[in-house]
Structure 1
Amino acid sequence: MITTDAWVLHRRPDDPAVPKRGELSRETFSFADVADHEALVEPLVGSWEANLDHALSRDPIDICRQRGESSVVLGNLAVVRVLRTGADVTSVSEGDTCLVLPFGECDRYGYVERVYAYDMPHTVGLLAKRTKLHAGILLPLPEDTPFSLAQWATYGRYFTAWDNWNVAHACWSAQMRDEDPAKHLVFGWGGGVAMAELELARRAGFRVAMTASTDARLSFLAEHGITGVDRRLFPDLSYSAEVADDPEALARYRASEKEFLRIIGELSDGAGAAIFLDNIGSPLYKATLKAMARQGVLATVGWKHGMTTSTLRASECIKRHLHVNTHVWRIHDSARIRDFQNATAWMPPRETVTTYAFDDVPQLAADYAAGRITTYFPTYQVNLL
């Protein structure tokens, strides 16, 4: 057996008095020794992702119950160092610094079906001083990379963005083959994945814009050639059944929606967003659809607030809207995306990555859940080099 120091999430007791949201517990965690196809690694810098918050909130599923386990170690995106490999492993060696690819189980085309250290049973995640995993999901970093480990730790947002953007762009091009991208707007709700996609959209020649709710983030977007749209200009844009039933709340919503659509109109010469990047979910879905251009593409890789949406199919057909839903990326593309990042500096600047100490992981979880993190790229350090 291997024993390590880890942050652990326990299964919620069958007691309605216990809060639904879980907490991470610092404790000793044990797991079986390395099998022939596995590697023992020590995480160096990990990325705090939305799936960690979903697991702690037990929404949409209780991960421990889903996996049939009493406790789990989460964390599936990090830069790690290989400590030891099993007898059959030839792809990595002791001492290699690698990215962890979050593939627990893939379909025959290389797309993920179950995610390592999330809904894949019997996997031990990266919120630990040491862990083991299938060596096939380790991707070595380039030896000559000019980027820091903390910068590389954000790779999950970039790899996901690369996949989603390429599918969304291809779908838009299928209907708008002869159009100049410079005449069309790609818009995104604020977030690290959306920002990475907008950088690709800008390089492809599109107009690009994104919401932000702080002066610091608006300045950051401007420095990267992305038009920042102040989210504070339409504070009541979230829509729900409760809003619809409250005349005063509905009036505030409509005022915010009007202002939002006015801004989109200005940015797009009245056409609407050609490609809308929406990783927020149901609260903003009504406004998102109204902001889209004809032949527009709605692209998403998940949700932050609300996973259930309702669409009027006739309207979407008439407007020829295409809806793109992707998840993670294809495992076969991983080395290609890594090399693209390294060669083109498609990477967050060093100063934009915020890193918490391993001791402060619960504070990181709380700050993320409360929206107190100002960066798009929160990370945590586990072991020192």
Structure 2
Amino acid sequence: MKAVTIPEPGDIDALVLADVDDPTPGPGEVLLDVAAAGVNRADLMQRMGHYPPPPGASEYPGLEVSGTIAALGDDVEGFEVGQEVCALLSGGGYAEKVAVPAGQLLPVPSGVSLLDAAALAEVVSTVWSNVFMTANLQPGQTLLAHGGGSGIGTMAIQLAKQIGARVAVTAGSTEKLDFCRELGADILINYREQDFVEELKEATDGHGADVILDNIGAKYLGRNVDALATSGRLVVIGMQGGRKGELDLGKLLAKRGAVIATSLRARPAEEKATIVASVREHVWPLIEKGAVRPIIHTTLPLDQVREAHRILEESSHIGKVLLTI
């Protein structure tokens, strides 16, 4: 099969489309003929050598796909050959075929095309597990989502609004903020021109954010604590702004706040299956009735994977970039 390989970590030229061996599904796994793969910032980190796949995972990048089941491993129930699904992966999505544990599969929601479904599994699982299962965002509370125009951001806005939360976002352009407003965001902050801590405090009468979903990391750590409400929860899911930052424990204690750092990719298959089952129960009905939808910036063929990474590096996109197989 064809797959995108990374012979040596580096810039976008490190991505090489090559002929590799087909994967074989093991017990409890299914083999998918991939229709499309989502492109995520974690893939860029892997390409640069900063985010290797967990032990036993495919060495090829790609954390979410849609496709058709081609074969079933032993002890797989509830799925059948020929069924259209999307999947949460630990790696291997940038390929014509991929093997995945059955617990990480979701049926393609009604009303969503097979290709568009590639934009769902990793993004929805990330938002649902962090904002709702871990940080326990409640109706009437305020969520601050950094990078509101990203795939994660656009999904966080939609899901938070569906449960009755108030949503604040940061983004770097008027175009992105306007789109966030269309999705339902209440508080719009241009991080290039405004201080998100001051803007959020003013918009919430000093309350701050009950939950912050942060993909920046060290650069925003102190300011995120400043922006937290009393008993607020800061969930860090990325390190675009660096790995090491200073934390004022006095401020955190005074606010009775929590800082939670999470990673979805390296979790055991059993934990991923629990998250996927919760997503299917709580989020899939919202997608099927049209209340929540995947936001797709563009689709590119697999042999244009370097262009897909360039788009993410420039942060010129709104929503997801997909690779079609």
Aligned 8 A contact 2:5 2:18 in 1: yes
Could you say which residue in structure 2 is the equivalent of 1:203?
Answer: 162
Q: Bigger shift: 216-225 or 334-343?
A: 334-343
Query: d(CA) in 2 for partners of 1:139 and 1:188?
Result: 25
Report the equivalent of 2:143.
186
Partner of residue 213, structure 2: 277
1:44-96 per-residue CA deviation (whole Å, 9 max, x = no partner) reads: 1111112211101112x5x38x8699x93221210121122345444422111
**Gap change, CA 1:149 and 1:231, over 3 Å in 2:** farther
Q: Which amino acid aligns with 2:320?
A: F
- 1:276 offset after TM fit, Å? 1.9
Q: 1:371 to 1:154 in 2, by over 3 A?
A: same
What's the CA shift for 1:205? 3.0
**Structure 2 residue aligned with 1:307, among 240, 243, 257?**
243
2:128 aligned partner: 162
The one of 260, 265, 274 aligned to 1:332? 274
Quick one: which amino acid aligns to residue 347 of structure 1? Answer: V
Q: In the alignment, what sits opposite 1:239?
A: none
* 264 and 80 in structure 1: CA distance in 2 versus 1, 3 angstrom threshold: same
Is 1:10 aligned to 2:10, yes or no? no
- The equivalences for 1:32-43 within 5 A come to 33-35=24-26, 37-43=28-34
- Are the structure 2 counterparts of residues 67 and 166 from structure 1 closer, same or farther at C-alpha, using a change threshold of 3 Å? closer
In structure 2, the residue matched to 1:379 is 322
Distance 1:28 1:168 in 2: 40
Q: Which residue pairs with 2:98 in the alignment?
A: 131
Provide, for residues 273-317 of structure 1, a one-character-per-residue CA deviation record: whole Å limited to 9, x for no partner: 222221211112222222222222212233333233331223311
Which of 88, 96, 99 is the matching residue for 1:101?
A: 88
- Cα distance in 1 for partners of 2:167, 2:15 equals 38
Cα separation, partners in 2 of 1:229 and 1:290, compared to 1, 3 Å: same
Contact 2:233 2:259 in 1 (8 A): yes
Task: Choose 1 or 2 for highest CA Rg.
Answer: 1
Query: Tell me, what secondary structure is at the counterpart of 1:72?
Result: coil
Amino acid at match of 1:188: A
- Per-residue deviation at 1:344? 1.5
Inter-partner Cα distance in structure 2 for 1:150 and 1:32:
21
The offset of 1:334, in angstroms, is: 1.4
Rounded Cα–Cα distance in structure 2 between residues aligned with 1:20 and 1:214: 25
Q: Distance in 2 between matches of 1:168 and 1:336?
A: 12
Whether the aligned pair in 1 keeps the contact of 2:135 and 2:235 (CA below 8 Å) is no
Distance in 1 separating the partners of 2:237 and 2:39: 16
The number of equivalent residue pairs is 312
Contact 2:210 2:229 in 1 (8 A): yes
Any stretches of 5+ residues in structure 2 without a counterpart? Answer: 265-270
TM-score by length of 1: 0.72
Q: 1:249 — aligned with what?
A: none
The Cα shift of 1:214 comes to: 2.2
Matched with 1:348 is 293
Structure 2: how far apart are the matches of 1:85 and 1:323? 41
Contact 1:21–1:58 (8 Å) recurs in 2:
no
Q: Give the aligned CA root-mean-square deviation in angstroms.
A: 2.9
The reply on whether 1:75 has 2:75 as its aligned counterpart is no
Query: Residue 341 of structure 1: CA displacement?
Result: 3.0
Task: Check conservation: 2:63, 2:93, Cα contact below 8 A.
Answer: yes
Structure 2 equivalent of residue 231 of structure 1: 191
Q: Name the aligned partner's letter for residue 124 of structure 2.
A: Y
Q: What amino acid does structure 2 have at the position aligned with 1:282?
A: A
The match for 2:174 is 215
Offset of residue 33 of structure 1: 4.5
User: What SS does structure 1 have at the residue aligned with 2:66?
Assistant: strand
Write the distance in 1 (CA, Å) between the matches of 2:179 and 2:154. 11
The gaps in structure 1 that reach 5 residues or longer are: 13-18, 103-115, 118-124, 174-180, 235-258
1:141 alignment partner AA:
V
TM-score by length of 2: 0.84
The whole-number CA distance in structure 1 between the counterparts of 2:207 and 2:5 is 49
- AA aligned to 1:160 is T
Distance in 1, matches of 2:155 and 2:70, equals 32
| Alignment of structure 1 residues 111-122 onto 2, 5 Å | 116-117=90-91
CA drift at 1:211: 1.2
User: Secondary structure, in 3 states, of the residue corresponding to 1:7?
Assistant: strand
Partner amino acid, structure 2, of 1:51: A
2:268 corresponds to which residue? none
Structure 1 residues 32 and 211 mapped into 2: Cα distance closer, same or farther (>3 Å)?
closer
